[in-house]
Chain A
């Protein structure tokens, strides 16, 4: 059973279809990036998953529990960090977390232990007595993440958790998210910082104008979009000589110069690629660098979306 299953949800605001028949799943222990241009419908989808909004059609199952039919049960299983949330300014970090721990029904020592655990997990232990209105943006993000983890949910939905964080805080957030993933939790994370997402996500869902454009592993989407791989090769010989040799090869196209070597599109499999290297060596071309181009989330994003604003 998927940890989070979005089943054909549609949400309209007046005439605007903010979310249109969106379906995807997130498995336990996997981290799914949710990307799309501004106004694509990410926040709306996430709010529906978090029981905060109602879809016009469709349903969302959290660990098999419908957010429409059993919202209270679903809330126990999911943690949601909104993109834009407030915190009570005249409370300390400890009091804030203690309040939500009480709300989740944690009692006595268990409550104290849980608050200690989440503060140390988010490195807030030292700041427990600080008042919230004195915290920086990054500290507040951590606090909200700590709050989201209090009841140990199996599904975490984070709406732009990295917004406004400095580079170090982002790296730390990434480590936190990875740690959560390895604890077996399912995570759905929206972000505009694609390099960040690419490093932590197992899969992505791409949405634009309310429609889901693609979903799955980054590599798989890449394969679907571009059936060929991009290969870079540099050899200890003249570039023209290398180019001539390459052009005689099958399943190979679009040879172009890149940095000190050449790049080309290749449609063959790995076996064929190995034989290609053998032939180059046999011709005495001495290849010193031979690399498959990395799959870039930006490229996928740019080729899928059209930048339409709605």
Chain B
């Protein structure tokens, strides 16, 4: 036990110590807390020593086997795969799982409320947890670096491969920690958490396994690192990781934020960014490699839209009106307010965001593809977003007339997905009943996936019925959403006007108090 604190004049620390003290002050509080706890707790310590011992054991075993088989020149790559295998499970499974548990513990142990009322922002909590996980991962990398470097000394392992694998693995590990923390914020009850933990395990284990396979492949055929196509794929993957991480981060922040806070804008900006980045890569591949026939551009746009789909589903089912806090954040310039409107919360504004992103995608695709005479690509992108608008906007638009509670909103979300599934599967089932061969093969006018793939391959004439259905869907969706979009426009301009009024009123009194 320490003596009670006494106020003694301590001389100002200088140089390195002062710098360290300042750095310590700037550290994320959650990071400090988590590291202290992790170092005292059993989970991290035991696992850490277990993995180190395991890696040592495997290494010794490999050396013995290789010397018995007289296969010492292959020892380097084998030894690398084995030790990286242990490391991969540690940093791609254990560490993110720890982050999941650590976020969940805040609810399970009833400490979350205290965090909320202290001055911690949601983003500090999420980043703190991820940083703590990254620090643990770093400890693993440090502990394993002697093993990995010794594989280089054993020969047969390209240092360039190690130089690619390790940073990539760190990036993946950090991204997975973001995923784990975001998943952890989604459920607070025991049963939900158990389900989420299973889901996370299903995501983490294949990544760890895939990581090992990828690393082994790189070490064994390091010449691939000079291949242009491979590097292009790698660059695309690396650029997707931070976006995915940021996506998870935004979800986590939105889940932890105060109910009156704006949960939507960050995610909406992110979805726009996903759209832009996938368009960028698509056009880069389209124009550089002349991969036109392989549908790169269409594929990338569809990929970007696909991973944003669930986010859009949340946007279009949000409550229509602004919360009291968000209403005050609408820009005072009515021009700016109307142009940033799709990025503000609200279901009607969510549909506008989808349309705005769609218009952007169509415009960019047209600029790239039309000069090359490729109208199909433009048609595909337009149809993709229109299908998106119909499948997301129809039910939510109808529901916007009556749905007020969170429960009902969740029902609409699930209903939208079920409805999409039904429109694809029911006609196929009907095909079996009435013996319509095309329908059995899912080639029916209600299946957007088939129609889109036909458009992408330039067979627009075969899907004319499907396009008619789409047209009807668009009309219905417009009818269902007209009212809420008008209201959204009206509310935005009203809030903007109110802000102008408020600030005009506040300024004279401010001047008075200052003088």
Contacts and interface: CB of A to CB of B under 8 A. Distances in A.
A85 B40 contact: no
Given A120-B5, A129-B1, A85 B37 contact: no
Nearest to A102: B29
Given A75-B117, A102-B29, A103-B119, A90 B37 contact: yes
Contacts of A98: 32
Contact of A113 (B1, B7, B25): B7
Contacts of B21: 108
A139 B65 CA distance: 59
Contacts of A87: 109, 111
Interface residues of A, number: 47
B190 interface: no
Given A54-B260, A91-B37, A120-B5, A72 B117 contact: no
A147 B29 CA distance: 15
Contact of B29 (A80, A99, A125, A128): A99
A54 B37 CA distance: 32
B43 to A, nearest CB: 10
B2 A105 contact: no
B119 A125 contact: no
Given A71-B260, A91-B36, A91-B40, A103 B115 contact: yes
Nearest to A76: B119
B41 interface: yes
B74 interface: no
A9 B120 CA distance: 26
A95 B32 CA distance: 9
Interface string B252-269: 000000111100000000
Contacts of A99: 29, 32-33
Contacts of B339: none
A290 interface: no
A52 interface: yes
Q: Which of A51, A98, A99, A107 has the most CB of B within 10 A?
A: A99
Nearest to B28: A102
Contacts of A78: 117
Contacts of B70: none
Nearest to B26: A107
Given A68-B324, A85-B113, A125-B4, A105 B260 contact: no
Max chain A Cβ within 10 angstroms of own Cβ: one of B21, B119, B259, B328: B119
Interface string B18-32: 000110010101001
A95 B113 contact: no
A72 to B, nearest CB: 7
Interface in A54-82: 54, 68-69, 71-72, 75-76, 78, 80, 82
Nearest to A131: B40
Given A103-B120, A108-B21, A54 B259 contact: yes
Contacts of B22: 108
Contacts of A84: 110
Given A51-B258, A71-B260, A103-B29, A119 B5 contact: yes
**Which bracket fits the contact residues of B?**
20 to 34
Contacts of A86: 109-111, 114
B25 A107 contact: yes
Interface in A117-133: 119-120, 125-131
Contacts of B32: 98-99, 102
Nearest to A53: B259
Nearest to A84: B110
A243 interface: no
Contact of B5 (A50, A107, A125): A125
Nearest to A82: B113
B188 interface: no
Nearest to A47: B113
B328 A69 contact: yes
B408 interface: no
Nearest to A107: B25
Contacts of B1: 126-130
B29 to A, nearest CB: 4
A14 to B, nearest CB: 10
Contacts of A111: 25
A108 B118 contact: no
A50 B115 CA distance: 12
B40 to A, nearest CB: 4
A100 interface: yes
Given A69-B325, A71-B260, A113-B7, A129 B2 contact: yes
Contact of A151 (B2, B36, B119, B260): B119
A82 B37 CA distance: 23
A52 B119 contact: no
Nearest to A96: B33
B224 interface: no
7 contacts: A85-B114, A95-B36, A107-B25, A108-B21, A119-B5, A128-B2, A151-B119
Given A71-B261, A99-B32, 10 more contacts: A71-B258, A75-B119, A91-B33, A91-B40, A95-B36, A102-B32, A103-B115, A108-B21, A108-B22, A113-B7
